[in-house]
Amino acid sequence: MARILIVEDEDRIAAFLAKGLSADGHQVSTVADGLEGLEEALSGAFDLMVLDIGLPTIDGFEVLDQLRAQGSRMPVVVLTARDSVHDTVSALEGGADDYLAKPFRFAELRARIHVRLRQQDNTDAEVGELRSGSVGLDLRTRRLRVDGRESDLSAREFALAEVLLRHPGQVLSRAQLLDLAWGMDFDPGSNVVDVYVGYLRKKLGSARVETVRGMGYRFQP
Distance CA 208, CA 160 (A): 13
What pLDDT score does 155 carry?
80
- Delimit the domains of the chain by residue range: 3-122, 129-219
Tell me which long-range contacts 65-70 makes (C-beta under 8 A, separation of at least 24). Answer: 65/94, 65/95, 66/38, 67/38, 67/41, 67/42, 67/95, 68/94, 68/95, 68/155, 70/42
Distance set, CA 177 to CA 57, 157, 170, 218 (Å): 35, 12, 12, 11
Q: Which CATH architecture has domain 3-122?
A: 3-Layer(aba) Sandwich (3.40)
What pLDDT score does 116 carry?
83
Q: What are the backbone angles phi and psi of residue 3, rounded to the nearest 5°?
A: -100, 115
Residue 51 near residue 79, CB atoms below 8 Å: yes
Distance CA 144, CA 134 (A): 11
Distance CA 23, CA 21 (A): 5
What pLDDT score does 45 carry?
85
pTM (whole model) above 0.85: no
Residue 41 near residue 63, CB atoms below 8 Å: yes
Q: Averaged in consecutive runs of 10 residues, what is the pLDDT profile of the chain (221 residues)? A: 92 94 93 95 90 92 89 85 68 81 85 81 60 84 87 87 86 82 61 90 92 91 81
What pLDDT score does 105 carry?
86
Q: What is the CATH number of domain 129-219?
A: 1.10.10.10
The reply to whether 129-219 shares the fold of 3-122 is no
Residue 72 near residue 41, CB atoms below 8 Å: yes
